[in-house]
Amino acid sequence: PDDNNAPLDAPPAYDSTVGSSSRQTAPVEKSRAPASVPLPLSPAPSTVKSRVVQKSAWEELGDEMGDLMASLGLGTARHRATTEVRKTVTGLIHDLVRDQSIDSVGILDSCSEVCAAYEINMPSLLQRPYIEGHTPLYWAIVKRPADASETAASELPPLIRALLAYSAPLSAETVTDVRLACLQTCDQWLFQGLRCCADFSALPYKDQLLLGVQVPPDTVAIEVPARHSAPFTVNFGLAHFQKRMRISHEVRLDFISHARMWELAFFVAESTGSGLQQGQWAARIALLDTSPPS
């Protein structure tokens, strides 16, 4: 769109902040923060949630109709301005996942403020599969560089943490897209890191009620052999296992190994089928639907 017609409080154009991907500009050295003031790694959850504009399905449909009318040169000036802001925000997010060296937190925070001003539901916008059929979170995961220094205690990459915070709460479709990204890159470390993130909501709702908002520190460690065809070992620990079994009747643990996503589940038998007595505790391991056959 023409810059002269852009809303005054729209996010800064990508060219003016970090440089266009199609035009090379001289790098600008960023000033370092004082040693006593850590650089922001993720937005404050309270700040993000206070800006989220909640809309019903009918209101979301109305926004889409407004976008269509604006693209045809119809509708009110407010609708046309909102459409331009939405296009600018999606363009900036597209560039964030393409060039992951950009200050993602600062740009997403600016986008969040403008979306709130124009009553745009930013979590809904971030969860649209508008980048080659997938969400921005999917591309942030599949494009992230591997880091040999990552350990179980390492934090999630800044871009992924920020996208999670601004996308929450995640829909079932977005969670599926994120799981697929981890599977396609065989990223067991990131998958387990996401599972321990409150914004990812990996726990069943009954377990969330039972255990509170704190995600239990279930641990999974995969011992992968040198030969791909050799057996692998899974070491795991489950928090409050007996309590969860008695009340929830099932404890699940998903993990990635050998380019497949596996489910290890402990459950209470509800019938006498499969040779189990009703009420008996049992376990199963299975491949999930998104995995290729073993």
**What is the enclosing helix (H) or strand (E) of 50?**
helix 45-51
pLDDT of 102: 78
Which residues, including other chains, have CB under 8 Å from residue 262's CB and lie 6 or more apart?
254, 255, 256, 285, 286, 287, 288, 291
Give me the tens of pLDDT residue by residue for the chain, a chain 294 residues long.
444 455 545 555 544 444 434 343 333 333 333 333 233 345 555 455 545 555 555 455 555 555 555 555 555 677 788 888 999 999 999 999 998 877 888 899 999 999 999 989 999 999 999 999 999 999 999 998 766 556 655 688 889 999 999 998 899 899 999 999 999 999 999 998 888 777 776 677 777 777 776 665 688 888 877 777 778 889 999 888 999 999 989 999 999 988 899 999 999 998 766 788 888 999 999 998 777 776
List, as one string, the DSSP characters of 140-204: HHHHSPP-TT--TTPPPPHHHHHHHHHHPSPPHHHHHHHHHHHHHTT-HHHHHHHHT-GGG--S-
Integer Cα distance of 250 and 265 in angstroms? 7
pTM for this prediction:
0.71
Which residues, including other chains, have CB under 8 Å from residue 19's CB and lie 6 or more apart?
25
Can you list the positions of beta strands (E) in the chain?
A: 219-223, 233-237, 250-257, 260-268, 281-287
pLDDT of 101: 78
CA angle 191, 165, 216 (to 5 degrees): 50
